[in-house]
Amino acid sequence: MKLHITVLPGDGVGPEVTREAVRVLRTAADLYGCEVSLEDHVIGGVAIRECGAPLPEATLRACMQSQAVLLGAVGGPEFDSLPAGQRPESGLLALRQALGGYANLRPAIAYSAIADCSPLRSEIITGADVLIVRELLGGIYFAEPRGFEGGPCPSAYNTMRYSEAEIERVAHVAFQQARMRHRKVTSVDKANVLETSQLWRKTVTRIGREYPEIKLDHMYVDSCAMRLITHPGSFDVILTENLFGDILSDEAAVISGSLGMLASATIGGKVDLYEPVHGSAPDIAGRGIANPLGAIASAAMLLRHSARLEQAARDIEDAMREVLDAGHRTADLARGRAKRAVSTSEMGALVESAVADVTDRRRAYHAV
């Protein structure tokens, strides 16, 4: 099997964490006989500096011709003065639209070894394993009209809009993911106030009837935000629209203890996109202290969804857990805990080595 991946290291810590994700991805793929070819391109701030645009044509063309895209991060304060359409983030939005992925998958897992990194009590997060399925191409971020109005009292406006078809397709993704997990979907909306949410709830309920083995419940977004903090273990798959999903998935970082732990996959379009949830973190860029585990977990999701190498993905995830269980921490996980922090590259090397060990042990066990 061959897998062609376009790698977009991006800005800030993006190149550092992406390097480690690629290292682990290559090792895991090789163990399963998958030949990986990688092609690096620029996006975001580095693309503005080198090419004058946040998403150069060569980058977009390479992405569209690949089987998957692995992204580091985009953005930086030096570009904040640029018009909105010329900033690094606009390149990412344009890429997402071009690739067509409409479902964003964001897992949030409570690792017992780093439970003390969460601001929540360990008994609250123990066993929590949540997958947030966020609709990514609709809602208030993309609907028209939007803009500003002048006059003596300037105003601004955005439009929240969803079609039945947009809701249907992302709902199917959530129910299909739940089939492979604990068979529960919580659909999050604001149906007591918003017409879009009323259509959302009605449509998700109808789609849910096609999956009788899946338990479906509905929850208002404010109630969900509270319960995600107080009882995260009560959730399996959370399905929600673009804005709510953006907020809830960042809130879910408290379950894992750091934004640096969170991965994501954007699927459903022509080419799938994988990226850690954290930003470019320019304040720590180049210092070798960024947490690469979110990027590495994103590489695992790439193997799962684009290469269909489920066991290889699980081996990476098991390797990450073993490295954490052994006491290794990056700076964001070691702060104030009297633990020596390993560097970005050291963490990548530890996970790479553990992947090989996990795979060898599993194969030896099944050979007996």
**215 catalytic residue (yes or no):** no
**190 catalytic residue (yes or no):** yes
Any residues with CB less than 8 A from the CB of 364 and at least 6 apart, and which? none
N residues, the chain: 368
Distances, alpha carbon 240 to alpha carbons 110, 181, 236, 237, 293, in Å:
21, 18, 13, 10, 25
Q: Assess contact for 319 and 355: CB atoms under 8 A.
A: yes
Amino acid at the residue 105: L
Query: Which among 30, 40, 129, 250 is annotated as catalytic?
Result: 250
Adjacent-strand bridge partners of 73: 10
Rounded to 5°, the CA angle 22-26-29 comes to 130
- Percent helix, strand and coil across the chain, each to the nearest 5: 50, 20, 35
**2 catalytic residue (yes or no):** no
**141 catalytic residue (yes or no):** yes
Query: Which among 11, 111, 189, 190 is annotated as catalytic?
Result: 190
Long-range residue pairs from 231-234, CB within 8 A, at least 24 positions apart, any chain: 231/124, 232/108, 232/110, 232/120, 232/124, 232/125, 232/128, 232/130, 233/124, 233/125, 233/126, 233/127, 233/128
Q: Assess contact for 24 and 352: CB atoms under 8 A.
A: yes
Query: Which among 116, 217, 222, 325 is annotated as catalytic?
Result: 222
**365 catalytic residue (yes or no):** no
* Catalytic annotation, residues: 141, 190, 222, 246, 250
